[in-house]
Chain A
Amino acid sequence: MSNSKLYKGSLNTIILKLLNEHDKMYGYEITQKVKALTKGELKITEGALYPALHKLEAEGLLDVEVAKVDNRLRKYYKLTETGTKETVNKLEELAEYIKTMQALVNPKLV
């Protein structure tokens, strides 16, 4: 991930936000979607993505579904009910954080 230290804390929110907008997604699809949305600025590595997905799954925020696609098995992730609620909280937290940072870095814009 580029600028990894800055983005690291937001990875879970990014994942939750994407899954909130799509019914279900698989790991590689998430990396490609983030890359496309940020025009290549943000690249999520598998070393960061999968541990985050598994942690969110273990916390009960994500559910897993396995389907056979293109000669192989694919693991899809989707939000659970708790995950959907948590996404709202996380996005609010992130918005608040961006606002605070904006006030610190560029007070004229606030």
Chain B
Amino acid sequence: MMNLTKENIQFIDTYLEQSDVKHIDIRMEMVDHVASEIENRIDAGDTRDFYYVFKDYMLEHKSFLLENNNRFLRQTTKKLSNQLLKSFFSIKSITLLAVFTAIIYFGFNNYDSELMKNVLLISMIFLIIAPAICYFFALKKFNYNRFSGIERLGFFFSFLLQFINIVNITGANFIKNQNHLLITSIVMALVFTFILVFIRLSVLTFKDYKYRYNNLC
């Protein structure tokens, strides 16, 4: 059985990377598939140089491979969304939401609202920095290889930041009204719960990738 050389494999990998298959967890499978098919063709009697066999294969199958890349990304986003929603609507999270609401409501009733607002804002900033630090260490751990699931977390992270931004802008005047304290507390508690659920999902995703792709660490 003929095996392609390291240089041949690197050539396929670079070609796919330049064709916009950026994530290594998707690309490695495509590289293996293309390499296996080329080896099979050469074993079956194709005497041409690797480059010509590769070119023929790509002419026939490139569109399939790129479509596969897009489908994989959609699948990853769907998987993460389901995990996030499942985790957010779990009994644990609902309990956490109730506890946060009670603590924040108690805080607004017993302390200066400006002080409370600052404490909440600093806590939020601290909590949203945590996933960014996680991402930095994950990148380092994986030798700066890009993984689809880890990068897709960024999509949810952007959503989280936008949500916090909206709460911050619209809530500034709303918070001053004593009649709105309960609603304000619930919204704040929702943000905190969502951040914690997101952090948990990020850590689980990192651990999952580390377990599966240990060869790349």
B-contacting residues of A (Cβ < 8 Å)? 26-29, 32, 45-47, 50-51, 54-55, 58, 64-68, 70-75
Question: B33 contacts A73, CB within 8 Å?
Answer: no
Q: Report if B48 contacts A (CB, 8 A).
A: no
A27, A66, A67, A72: which contacts B9 (Cβ < 8 A)?
A72
Q: Which residues of B contact A50 (CB under 8 A)?
A: 29, 33, 68, 71-72
Q: Which residues of A contact B3 (CB under 8 A)?
A: 70-71
Question: B29 contacts A75, CB within 8 Å?
Answer: yes
Q: Report if B36 contacts A (CB, 8 A).
A: yes
Question: B67 contacts A47, CB within 8 Å?
Answer: yes
Q: Could you mark each residue 13-57 of chain B with 1 if its beta carbon is under 8 Å from any beta carbon of chain A, else 0?
A: 000000000000000110111011100100000000000000000
- Which of B101-109, B110-118, B207-215 is found at the contact surface with chain A? B207-215
Q: Is the interface of A mostly helix, strand, loop or mixed?
A: mixed
CA distance A55 to B72 in the complex (A): 9
Q: Report if B140 contacts A (CB, 8 A).
A: no
The B55-98 residues at the A interface (CB cut-off 8 A) are: 61, 64-65, 67-68, 71-72, 75-76, 78-79
Question: A28 contacts B213, CB within 8 Å?
Answer: no
CA distance A19 to B9 in the complex (A): 27
Question: A66 contacts B214, CB within 8 Å?
Answer: yes
A–B pairs, 30, beta carbons within 8 Å: A26-B32, A28-B36, A32-B40, A45-B64, A46-B64, A46-B68, A47-B64, A50-B33, A50-B68, A51-B68, A51-B72, A51-B75, A55-B75, A58-B78, A58-B79, A66-B212, A66-B213, A66-B214, A70-B4, A71-B4, A71-B5, A71-B9, A72-B28, A72-B31, A72-B32, A72-B35, A73-B31, A73-B216, A75-B28, A75-B29
Residue among B29, B40, B64, B65 having the largest count of chain A Cβ atoms under 10 Å = B29
CA distance A75 to B36 in the complex (A): 13
Question: B78 contacts A73, CB within 8 Å?
Answer: no
Question: A46 contacts B212, CB within 8 Å?
Answer: no
Closest to B73 in A: A54
- A-B complex: 4 closest residue pairs judged by Cβ atoms: A47-B64, A28-B36, A58-B79, A73-B28
Q: Which residues of A contact B28 (CB under 8 A)?
A: 66, 72-75
Residue among B35, B36, B40, B65 having the largest count of chain A Cβ atoms under 10 Å = B36
Besides the known contacts A28-B33, A50-B29, A71-B9, 11 further A-B residue pairs in the complex with CB atoms under 8 A apart: A29-B36, A32-B40, A47-B67, A51-B75, A54-B75, A65-B212, A66-B212, A68-B215, A71-B5, A72-B4, A73-B28
